[in-house]
Structure 1
């Protein structure tokens, strides 16, 4: 069984729409692999053409893949495997297949699920149970770095798995923050797992695996990083997560591709705004302006968008972090009386007249304001107390 999946992974660069169709029809990996080797017509002209150059040599390549996988603690997972993240992939690609509109990507060649995934590290199914994609520019600014660290730190503290592509810039910061907080993170590569891209991140990937995360790839061993593979990889980053956050992205940033895939999958799409003079945030601003991404500035806002209804109350959290001042807590009538009082003492009748309230109600409210240490009574007169600048807002 595993040899057949490894053969399919090697004989044609995935994903291949015809292989996906055959699997949906109930064909097993063994049947499809045998059909390719025997050049059976039932596999379809498209698959025959796609495998013409490799169907003989793939057999040798898969054996090398499996031997190398055993040496380096890698494994190939596939539909039906205990670690296959079907709960994330199936709904995403089903939503895509049923979608309509100008932003859908369902007609693209790679708009189908992966046939198999190479994994180093923890179970991908387990890691993606509560996961969020963090993407953005490689040319990260000081602002982008600070924003990424802030949001990722809070997400990590709430046990969200951070999924990204392992590149320099935003990706690297996201993975590093997860490691700092002892929280799992997933690197989705655009090359074989026997390679690290960029090569300077090899140690980072080792730490990801050692600390309970995973490094994942759709491509067989020895596959080189190429532009089309990065773009196709982005769909997996989006599909494996509940939502995608773009931290910092220029007008033509590749990170926006991941956001577009998340949109096509019906997943949450979020963008962090940047300085209005920074070209590195133009892509984020455009998506927010077009209504294709929700503006977020905190991890709590992201969690509220991605969580089940009522699980996260951002406004309640803000109330705790930014409690109202003593003036902001006043009712409308209390505020009328408070505004009618000056720092020079006045009698209650004058205050009631200025506030436009009855004398009895005004006296009642004056007593309440005194209890809150906002005014002071001097005999039959009342005057306002000096407050700090923050209390006056």
Structure 2
């Protein structure tokens, strides 16, 4: 039996319960496995064909030398991983970033800005390629020409959501990594995504939640990271926003409240494993104390009426009608001013006719 078939047989043989497969894995490569079932042979054929299509594709089993050591800390580590991209990132230092799929424009900008700062400081950004915060985190790392790892809840040849196919390809082309514990040909399923989250938490050296509701899958990822001893941080938001309540609950329970990327990196460096200290993405650490709050662009001339509208708008979303009443203006004039301010990068439009100050990321 060749190595790939043996590894897939250990990971996917449905004639064995999951606990039995993990017990066999702990015994080492010399363990006697049952004969591969038909499903394993089919997955092996599909997986082998997928691997041959590109030199950039690989697999790594739990007994391989370069299997990520952080994953071994899990109670149920993936027994095999399929990857496409830079294999060396399996051992690189990184920060996981997760959050709401239904993120606000402010949240998306914050995620992108923090990811850029992490990447510029030589840290990989680990996330799940999902809608919302995940996508913004990957995009921010790529914009900074940094490394990012996307952990999928489907096979490595699939993509979810479908419109992130371009983002997935960009990650691979720019030296990032796409990773999955599921064999090629596996379609996304709801049960796969919570399991995907444990890999995100264990692969990284710290975790940041940008926006999350109280019943968010991101909180599961944060709990796993905390159980593994990883530094866990959250971005606070408006007390009126449902997308901030999960982050606030985390902070109340002891998560680090961060305002700059360097705050979390300092925590991550303090607990970084020795084998990762020698696997830095860059030789020198670049401090990333960028203030991600809104700053007025001093190079942009703004007339008095626009400045008045901007000064009345805060970082909590405000409906255009409410803002108009506060300013004593009609809705049409207020909306025109907001639109002009949006073109200047000073404000962002939210759903339901609400507006908020930009945070300086875009």
- Taking structure 1 as the reference length, the TM-score comes to 0.65
Alignment match, 1:61: 43
Structure 1 stretches of 4+ moved >6 Å: 309-313, 315-318
Compare relative contact order (CA 8 Å, sep 6+) and give the higher one, 1 or 2.
2
Secondary structure of 1:307's counterpart equals helix
Query: Shift of the alpha carbon at 1:317?
Result: 6.6
Secondary structure of 1:57's counterpart equals helix
Query: Shift of the alpha carbon at 1:58?
Result: 2.1
Query: Shift of the alpha carbon at 1:3?
Result: 1.8
Instruction: Specify whether residues 161 and 15 from structure 1 end up closer, same or farther in structure 2 by C-alpha distance, changes over 3 A only.
Output: farther
Alignment match, 2:64: 81
Moved more, 136-145 or 156-165: 136-145
Instruction: Specify whether residues 69 and 316 from structure 1 end up closer, same or farther in structure 2 by C-alpha distance, changes over 3 A only.
Output: closer
Instruction: Specify whether residues 57 and 316 from structure 1 end up closer, same or farther in structure 2 by C-alpha distance, changes over 3 A only.
Output: closer
Alignment match, 1:145: 108
Alignment match, 1:193: 156
Instruction: Specify whether residues 316 and 246 from structure 1 end up closer, same or farther in structure 2 by C-alpha distance, changes over 3 A only.
Output: closer
Structure 2: 5+ residue runs without aligned partners? Answer: 278-283, 291-362
Instruction: Specify whether residues 14 and 180 from structure 1 end up closer, same or farther in structure 2 by C-alpha distance, changes over 3 A only.
Output: farther
Alignment match, 2:302: none
Per-residue CA deviations over 1:160-204 (Å, capped at 9, x if unaligned) read: 100000011100111001111110100000001111111101111
Count of aligned residue pairs for this structure pair: 277
Aligned mate of 1:116, from 80, 103, 109? 80
Query: Shift of the alpha carbon at 1:80?
Result: 3.5
Per-residue CA deviations over 1:282-322 (Å, capped at 9, x if unaligned) read: 0000111122x111111011111111279999x9979xxxx
Q: Could you tell me how far apart the structure 2 residues matched to 1:238 and 1:169 are? A: 18
Alignment match, 2:134: 171
Q: Is the 8 A contact 1:121 1:214 kept in 2?
A: yes
More helix by share: 1
Q: Could you tell me how far apart the structure 2 residues matched to 1:297 and 1:183 are? A: 21
Aligned mate of 2:258, from 282, 285, 296? 296
Query: Shift of the alpha carbon at 1:36?
Result: 4.5
Matched, 1:184 2:166: no
Q: Is the 8 A contact 2:95 2:204 kept in 1?
A: yes
Query: Shift of the alpha carbon at 1:245?
Result: 0.5
Instruction: Specify whether residues 317 and 148 from structure 1 end up closer, same or farther in structure 2 by C-alpha distance, changes over 3 A only.
Output: closer
Instruction: Specify whether residues 166 and 56 from structure 1 end up closer, same or farther in structure 2 by C-alpha distance, changes over 3 A only.
Output: same
